[in-house]
Amino acid sequence: MKGYKLTYKIFFLVLFLICSTIGFAQNNKQKALETRRQELRREIQKINELRLENKSKQKSQLSLIEDFNYKINVLSNLIKVTNQQANLLTREINNNQKKITSLRDELKELKDDYAAMIVKSYKSKNEQSRIMFLLSSDNFKQAYKRLQYIKQYSDHQREQGETIKTKTQELQKTNIDLQKQQEAKKQLIAENRVVQKSLEQERKQHQTIMQSIKSNLSKYTSEIRKKQREADRIDKQINDIIRAEIAKSNKKAGKSSSSTTFALTPAGKALAKNFESNKGKLGWPVDKGLVKLRYGTQPHPLNKSLTIKSNGVRIATEKSAKVHVVFNGEVTAVIAIKNANTVVMVQHGNYFTAYKNLGKVYVKKGDKVTTNQEIGEVFTNSSNGETILSFSIFKESSTQNPANWIYKM
C-alpha cells in the first residue's frame, strides 16, 4: 500500500513538472503572439490614418491596388495570428481542465487519507491514552521509539493538513486561470469577427477596382513598366556613384582602381564594423511609416506576368515627414534626379544608405552626419497626396535587404 502511494505521488510530481514546462513554453509563445498581434493592430491604425489624411486626393488605380493589397495582407496576418492565439488558448484551457480533474482526484484521496487518520487517532485515544502507551513499554528504548512514533504520526497529520490546504489553493487558482483563459479566447474570437468583416469589405473594393483595371490592362502594364524603368535609372546613378567612390578610395591608397572593394582607412574600417554590429537594430529613416514595397524581385500585384525589381523598400509616411539618417556617416552625394526628386547618399565605411524622393534637403556633399540626424523631408505628391520614401542599403555595390538591418522592419 505504501509502495503504491509513493508511486502515485511520484507520478503526480512528474506530471506537474511536465505540465509546468509545457505551460512555460506556451506562455512564452502566447506573449510572442500577443506582441505580434499588437504590432499588426498598430500597423492597421497607421494605414487608416494615412488613408484619412489622403481622403480628399484622387489616387491612381495602381496606387489604390497597392494600398488594398497591403491592407488585405496585414488583415490576413492579423486573423492568422489571432487564430494561433485562440488555438493556443484552447490547448491551455484543455490542459487546465485536465489539471483541475487531476487536482480534484488527488485532493479527494488526500482528504480521505486525512479523515481515516483522524478517525484512527480518535479511536487510539479512546482505547489507550498516550501516557499508558508509553508506560506499557518493556524498556526505555521501546518507550523512546513509541514517543518518536507519536511525534512522527502527529507531524504527518499536520503535513497532510497543509498539503490539503496547498492543493485546495492551487485548485482555486487553476479555476481562476481557466476562467481568464476562457474570457480571453471569447474576446479574441469576437475581435477576429470584426477583422474578418473588415477584410471582406477590403476584398470587395479590391475586386471592383481590379475589374475596372482589367478592361484596360495594357495601359496599366505600360505604366508599371515605365515606373520600373525610372527606378532602374535612379539605381544606376547610385551604383555609378558607389563605383566612383570605390575607385577613388583605391587610387588614394595606391591600389588598382579596377578593384570592386573599398580600400578603407582605419577610421573607415571602424565605422563599417560599428555599422555591421548594429544590424537589425538600426532606427527607421522616418518616425512613422509603413513598408508598401519590400526588397527583392517580386510579381506585380496587378499583373503577375510582370516583375518588380526593388533594390530597397518603399515606405509610406505622413505629409512633411522628416528623414533621419540611420547611422553615423558622411554625405557622399546629393543627387538631383531628372524628372524625379532628390536622393541623398550617406557612406558608413564600405556601406551606403540611400534616401530617395526627398522634397527638401538639409545637408550637402561632404557633411558629417550622426545617427537620427534630420537630413531632409519626404516629397508629397500634390495630385494623390502620397508621401513615399524609397530607402536602400548597399555593401560596396551589392544591395542589402533593409528589413535585415532596420529594427522591426
Residue 235 has a pLDDT of 92
The amino acid at 156: H
Quick one: cell of 133? 502507551
C-alpha angle 216-217-218 in degrees, rounded to nearest 5: 95
Residue 43 has a pLDDT of 87
Q: By C-alpha distance, which of 27, 13, 42, 66 is closest to 314? A: 66
The predicted-structure confidence for 235-286, as pLDDT tens digits, reads as follows 999 999 999 999 999 988 888 877 889 999 999 999 999 999 999 999 999 9
Helix (H, G, I), strand (E, B) or coil at 159: helix
Contacts of 406 (CB under 8 A, 6+ apart): 280, 282, 283, 284, 285, 326
First to last CA, the chain: 62
Grid cell 555595390 is found at 397
Residue 65 has a pLDDT of 81
What are the structural domains of the chain? 2-214 (no CATH), 217-404 (2.70.70.10)
Helix (H, G, I), strand (E, B) or coil at 284: coil
Contacts of 99 (CB under 8 A, 6+ apart): 19, 174
Q: What predicted TM-score, i.e. pTM, was given to this entire model? A: 0.68
Residue 301 has a pLDDT of 75
Residue 145 has a pLDDT of 74
CB atoms inside a 10 Å sphere around CB 95 = 17
Contact (Cβ atoms closer than 8 angstroms) between residue 293 and residue 356: no
Residue 143 has a pLDDT of 65
Residue 315 has a pLDDT of 96
pLDDT (tens digit, 0 to 9) for every residue of the chain, 409 residues total? Answer: 445 455 545 555 555 555 555 556 678 898 999 999 999 998 888 888 877 776 656 667 777 888 888 889 899 999 999 999 999 888 888 887 888 788 787 778 777 776 776 666 655 554 455 555 555 666 767 766 766 766 676 666 677 667 777 777 877 888 888 888 888 899 999 999 999 999 999 999 888 888 877 777 788 788 888 888 999 999 999 999 999 999 999 988 888 877 889 999 999 999 999 999 999 999 999 999 999 899 999 888 777 788 889 999 999 999 999 999 999 999 999 999 877 899 999 999 999 999 999 999 999 999 999 999 999 999 998 877 889 999 999 999 899 999 999 998 8
Residue 149 has a pLDDT of 66
